[in-house]
Amino acid sequence: MNIVILGSGNIATHLGRAFKMAGQDISQVWSRDITHASSLADTLAAEAIDNMFDLDRSADLFIIAVKDEAIRETALELKLSDQLLVHTSGSTGLSALEGASTKIGVFYPLQTFSKAKSVDFRQIPIIIEANSPEVLSGIRAIADRLSEKVIELNSEQRKILHVAAVFACNFTNHLFGLAQELLEEKGLDYELLKPLIEETLSKIELNDPVSVQTGPAIRDDQATIQSHLELLKHNPALSELYTKLSQSIVNLHKRSQG
């Protein structure tokens, strides 16, 4: 299979590596910044381009892996006919590709990507969608080459999944960052929290997160909560977040109890 990747960021990088490891050929990497295109293309033995006129239109698959707001514009610039075109966004509908080709779909790897950290694509869920059963079958065959977990969802379902992923990943990571900042303000080492974080993550490997919730909010330990809020009074934003999260824990626990 001959593939053109449009984009040079985290997802483009990891998809390019995964396809290359699966024995697929990456013919070109396009980016509006030729330096960025070259940086990724060099690692994939591909041609770097920054002009759509230089596009290899004989490719079997075109993957748009750019910022969500640029997907529609990039798709229409391609001026394809019946070539297979997919985007990799979790929150953008399939409709963003309409009019760009007769064969369109979504190829969304549900994972957080950083260029410097490798991932095992076989364990990453790949969410797919297409504008016809025939195109969907083709995309599934491609996804099966990379992952053991290929799942078909429509655009609305995928958007809900993406929102849930923001809570589970982005917000959680932000809370880790706030915890680190809080400790470092007092000269304490963030490394002290890592065994706790690891244990928390290991618990939810085998259990429903709600069932293994711990902490002062779930115990209704108001003395500890008020003590924490006293410590946070110098930071109104963090104090407010602490209060809202504590109440959210209580509310979710009540709902889980019926």
Rounded Cα distance between 68 and 83, Å, is 21
Q: Give me the helices (H) in 45-144, please.
A: 71-78, 133-144
Burial of residue 62 (number of CB atoms within 10 Å: 0-12, 13-18, 19+):
buried
Rounded Cα distance between 159 and 140, Å, is 19
> What is the pLDDT, as a whole number, of residue 256?
86
**Digit-coded pLDDT (tens) for 24-81:** 999 999 999 999 999 999 999 999 999 999 999 999 999 999 999 999 999 999 989 9
Burial of residue 100 (number of CB atoms within 10 Å: 0-12, 13-18, 19+):
buried
How far CA 65 is from CA of 90, 176, 184, in Å, comes to 11, 28, 36
> What is the pLDDT, as a whole number, of residue 175?
97
| pLDDT beneath 50: ranges in the chain | none
> What is the pLDDT, as a whole number, of residue 258?
72
3-state secondary structure of 57: coil
Q: Tokens 């295109």 appear where?
A: 37
Smallest Cα–Cα separation from 63: which of 120, 106, 20? 106
**What are the tokens at 65?**
């892996």
Other beta carbons less than 10 A from residue 53's beta carbon: 6
